[in-house]
Structures are given as structure tokens and as C-alpha cells.
Structure 1
Amino acid sequence: MKKIIFVLAIGVAFVSCKNDKKTTEKEVDVTVEDTSKDMAYASFGMEINDADALSSDRMMELYKTMKPGDTLNSKMTAKIVEVCSKKGCWMTLDMDGENEVMVKFKDYGFFMPLNAEGDVVVNGKAYVSETSVDELRHYAEDAGKTKEEIEAITEPKRTYSFEADGVLLKQ
């Protein structure tokens, strides 16, 4: 009898520890210029094209209207800032000279060349996350920052991210 109760308690503990995050998807009606020309691209992931891709400036405007937890199916063009130097499993894109977007690839299904640079078209889901002041201060403390640097953190940090299912790298 004790074994059955123990097994049931373990089962209840596993089920109750589930951590679901709710997200909302937003549909936005956007008119886009078709700037596709006869350009050569290297394709990674799902097969996509460059038609109807938003400019990085226009996409940044949409990012700024999003709240943490929102997602937006989109396609955009931007310039590569950096690619993961170990496997090519992520990249950062310049959006407007001030903001960058961290791009990861859906289910680690594909990677970018380590030396990738230039313009890309990415297709997938854009989303925003926010790191609280307490968490940022904790990270700063762990990094060995001074008390003054830690106390200077007074605002949460918004992170713009993108999960790409397909990428075109301009050649």
C-alpha cells in the first residue's frame, strides 16, 4: 500500500510541475513593396522566397508595438551582425542601427555558415521577451559588477527575437 501511495505522489508531483507559458499571436495587415529582383541566394531550412519581405526598419516598428509573449508570423530582410562561431546555430541582425534581433533556427533544424555576412531574408516568428530589473541585477551581481553598476539598473530589458524556419543568404 505504501508503494502505491508513493508512486501516486510522484505522479502528481510530475503533473503539477508543468510550466506552461501562454503566448498570443497577433495578425497585422501590412502592405509591402515587392523588391525582389533576380538575386542569387543560398537557401537554408524551409524553402522560402524574398517576395513580400518587410524591411528591417518596418519590422522594428512592429517589434516596438509588441508586448512580451506576443508572436508575429513574418518575413523580413536585414543585415547580419554576427553568427555563432561554433556551429552557426544563431545569428544577430541589425534592425535600425540601434536595435538588434537574435535569430535562432526552428528545432535546430539547420545552421548558417560560420562566415556568413551581408543581407538575409528570414521567415518565421518574431517575438519579444522582457527581463525584469531584479533578474538583470542578479545577472550583474553574478558577473561581478560593482554595487554602483548594479544599482544603475532601473529598467527591464526588452529582447527582440526571431525563430526562423527558413533563411535566404544573399550571395
Structure 2
Amino acid sequence: MKKIFLILAMSLVVFSCKNETKATEENVEDAKQEIAYASFGMEINDADALSADRMMEHYKGLKAGDTVDTKMKGTIIDVCSKKGCWMKLDMGNDQQVMVKFKDYGFFMPLNAEGDVVVNGKAFVTETSVDELRHYAEDAGKSKEEIAAITEPKFEYQFLADGVLLKQ
């Protein structure tokens, strides 16, 4: 009788361990499907982020002085080469958005590239010649390219409080 109970107890232990490993394997597969991001600034997630096309629709409806709190996706095309204090995102159709970081509270890696999700305030502004020249200098442009900047530029801008950089 004792042998039957011992065999029954050992069988239960063996079968219960096998079920746990299957559950663990499934959880690992689920975790692998999530996108890995490096986070900068405020902690955010990629849920409800607007696509570049959808965000450009919002920008086109803005006037100088208007702001929109939002979260959007974009692709990095340029980062400040001095300390990572700004970046430019490609929004498709030859449209760009200049992204700065709230209160200079964080910076992007100088070699940052690829897709990002940014959270913060979208707005439009006219950027002065002096500021455009400053950005060109930060980006490592030549003196001739900097001197060629002679007119202010109407720009789409974004003040980010959090950024996710896809790894």
C-alpha cells in the first residue's frame, strides 16, 4: 500500500513539473514578440502612438501658437552631433519634424538612428535665421552651407518629454 502511494506521489510531481515548463516556454515566446525600446526622459509606452501620416494631418491644421498633446512615431534622420539635444524625424512626403527635449532634461545618443516614439507637445513655428544657422553648426555643416541660410523657415516642431528608441 505504501508503494502505491509513493508511486502515485512521484507521478504527480513528474507530471506537474512538465506542465510548468510548457507555460514558461509560452511566456518566453510572448515576451519575444514585444518590441525592445531604449527609453529616454519620462517613462512612456508605444500604445496609441500616431503614425507619421496621421500626425502630419494634425500639423497641417495648426497655426503658430497652437499646441497638441500627443504621441507619435517617426524615423530619425538627424541628431545633434554635439550632445544629442535635438533630432529631426522623417514624416514622409519630404516632411520633417524638429524634436527638442523638455527642459533639456535628457538627450539622445549621438549615433541614434531608426524608429522612435515621442510623447509631448506638437506645434508649428517660424524658426529664425540665427537659430537655423545654430542647428546647422550643431549638425556639423560646412561654413558655406551655414552662410547659405538667409531666410527664416516655417517648421513643424515637437517638445518631447519622453522618447522610445527602437533597438
Query: Which structure 1 residue ranges, 5 or more long, are not aligned?
Result: 1-36
Whichever of the two has the greater Rg, that structure is: 2
TM-score by length of 2: 0.66
Size of the alignment, in residue pairs? Answer: 121
The aligned residue for residue 43 of structure 2 is 47
- Distance in 2 of aligned mates of 1:103 and 1:144: 23
Gap change, CA 1:38 and 1:71, over 3 Å in 2:
same
User: Partner of 1:129 in structure 2?
Assistant: 125
Deviation >4 Å, runs of 4+: none
Distance 2:76 2:125 in 1: 21
What is the distance in 2 between the residues matched to 1:39 and 1:130?
36
Q: What is the CA distance between 1:144 and its match in structure 2?
A: 6.0
Distance of 2:99 and 2:91 partners within structure 1: 12
Aligned residue in 1 for 2:105: 109
Is 2:65 aligned against 1:82?
A: no
SS at the partner of 1:59?
helix
Identity of aligned residues (%): 69
Q: Which amino acid aligns with 2:90?
A: D
Amino acid in the other structure paired with 1:166: G
Unaligned runs of 5+ in 2: 1-32, 134-145
TM-score, normalised relative to structure 1? 0.65
The SS at the match of 2:57 is helix
- Alignment RMSD, CA only? 2.4
Q: Which residue of 2 aligns with 1:99?
A: 95
Q: Counterpart of 2:58 in 1: which secondary structure?
A: helix
- C-alpha distance in 2, partners of 1:159/1:108? 20
Quote the offset at 1:96 in angstroms: 1.5
SS at match of 1:113: coil
Q: Give the alignment partner of residue 58 of structure 1, picking from 54, 57, 63.
A: 54
